[in-house]
Chains A and B, each alone.
Chain A
């Protein structure tokens, strides 16, 4: 079971997830401190490490639109958050998969902060509301990277196979 720790609407841009003014910070070990920096309460929870691993951000359509900055994915991967959204923007989705941030496409999801979710491969169940919502499978090209544990190990394997 995982708690919804943050709920946010449609078209959340990478400027909201990781504001441009912190872009000089790039290392995945350092980016979480600026995650959602302009949403001070949620940012404080992350900075003070008050978030249980596997906790969920619930979002609307087109989560992660805007810039290609990978910090927007690494800053959520650090605290081991899971993003359940009605839809994702392309580059953000790809970055998340490459870094191993768990992203779940759940077009009908209904949940509020504090709800308990069970996030499965085919469906998400909101235990608090007693409702289950279908999950759209990842584009198949991406699943291979997830299965390899991210793009770095995937690329390393191809490099060693001289492919």
Chain B
């Protein structure tokens, strides 16, 4: 029987000719990523070795990547101490791939991994972060795991007891109309599938609109598949993947283009025509509470956020700057911009994009998770409303359970910052 992309990757990583949905496998891991929650992983890792008479030693330091992004620079003594503990561990274990808090590299883990060439098509990637789904954009099987599970990976080099997931095949046809972005597509899809519609499954993306999409947009889409409950999203590697890996990630081939078999069996098939899509907004307090922008237009906002692993890439900032050039952010609205990595930050700096945004009144925040999870910066006040290009609008997400978060594309966010209320970007010149 034919296999989907993820079935093929899992078969290869488990040393099997084929696997069926529901089979239990223990795939070898190519990249194991953690951020500040490595502090907990270290704790659990040491537990594994307790009373064994063995010295804790990771299976392969070169396959572990640690990136500080969630609370940078440290917002509290507790975080700073955790970060220090992780630095010591990295040194002791000889982990070469460590991205500390510094402006010449680093940023949000889901941007740092692809842009530094850690992700190869056909590989198995795990991360102690639910948006590890992002890296399916480069044709890898990439999914989030917990800290204890990561401790097992650090010990043994494989993920224990993975059940081969079923796959939902999503075919996206048509051309993106002006003002409609990959973010609108994935919000629409989550609305359609619901927050649990893809639970324990993988979403495999096909169709013209995906083939023509640059990797940046593919990352946005795969990033948010977890909001429909998916284990991961995946775009089978193609010419664009190889272009990205060579030109932007500095890798040289050959690359393993894993494609599904023509007779692969899918749990569900969904077709979407982006040509007919309007900009979408996810309303409080669930990501699947999605409406076309027209239905919520006019809703007043207090804070606008552009950034994150979902929409903090160069083209996202460029879109915002194009809309804001020569305009001012409405009085009473504050706009925070946090690029996804320092590489993006520097390019946006050189090309004058940050200047345009600052001239409009935006505040540029350092790359990192910052306002996305509301532990660190950009928290909301009681009763306030935010419009954000991030990926979650759960109650309390931006640091305050008595506030509301709407999610949208960078174009919608920028257009709305001019008017101070949710605005259809197609209506702002």
Binding site for B on A (CB under 8 A): 11, 13, 15-16, 19-21, 23-27, 38, 61-62, 65-70, 73, 87, 89-91, 94-95, 98-99, 139-142, 144-145, 150-152, 154-156, 158-160, 163
Given contacts A23-B375, A65-B196, contact A70 B40 (CB under 8 A): yes
Shortest CB-to-CB span from B387 to chain A, Å, is 18
Q: How many of chain B's residues touch chain A, expressed as a range?
A: 35 or more
Q: How far is the CA of A152 from the CA of B41 in the complex (A)?
A: 11
Q: Are B145 and A91 in contact (CB under 8 A)?
A: yes
Residue B184 at the chain A interface, CB threshold 8 Å = no
Q: Are B200 and A23 in contact (CB under 8 A)?
A: no
Residue B341 at the chain A interface, CB threshold 8 Å = no
Q: How far is the CA of A20 from the CA of B156 in the complex (A)?
A: 30
Q: How far is the CA of A82 from the CA of B67 in the complex (A)?
A: 34
Residues of B within 8 A of A142 (CB): 161
Residue B297 at the chain A interface, CB threshold 8 Å = no
Residues of B within 8 A of A152 (CB): 44, 47-48, 148, 151
Chain B residue at minimum C-beta to C-beta distance from A139: B163
Which 8 interchain pairs have the tightest Cβ spacing? Answer: A141-B161, A95-B146, A62-B196, A15-B394, A26-B40, A13-B394, A38-B401, A20-B373
Residues of B within 8 A of A99 (CB): 148
Residues of B within 8 A of A155 (CB): 48, 151-152, 155-156, 160
Q: Are B145 and A65 in contact (CB under 8 A)?
A: no
Residue B195 at the chain A interface, CB threshold 8 Å = yes
Q: How far is the CA of A151 from the CA of B41 in the complex (A)?
A: 13
Chain A residue at minimum C-beta to C-beta distance from B81: A24
B-side interface mostly: loop
Q: How far is the CA of A87 from the CA of B395 in the complex (A)?
A: 20
Chain B residue at minimum C-beta to C-beta distance from A155: B152
Q: Are A141 and B37 in contact (CB under 8 A)?
A: no
Shortest CB-to-CB span from B153 to chain A, Å, is 9
Chain B residue at minimum C-beta to C-beta distance from A31: B40
Q: How far is the CA of A20 from the CA of B372 in the complex (A)?
A: 10
Q: Are A27 and B43 in contact (CB under 8 A)?
A: yes
Shortest CB-to-CB span from A128 to chain B, Å, is 28
Residues of A within 8 A of B149 (CB): 94-95, 98, 151
Q: How far is the CA of A89 from the CA of B76 in the complex (A)?
A: 31
Q: Are A91 and B130 in contact (CB under 8 A)?
A: yes
Chain B residue at minimum C-beta to C-beta distance from A140: B24
Q: Are B396 and A16 in contact (CB under 8 A)?
A: yes
Q: Are A70 and B148 in contact (CB under 8 A)?
A: yes
Chain B residue at minimum C-beta to C-beta distance from A72: B146
Could you say which of B144, B151, B286 contacts A91, with CB atoms under 8 Å apart? B144
Q: Are A11 and B286 in contact (CB under 8 A)?
A: yes
Q: Are A159 and B196 in contact (CB under 8 A)?
A: no
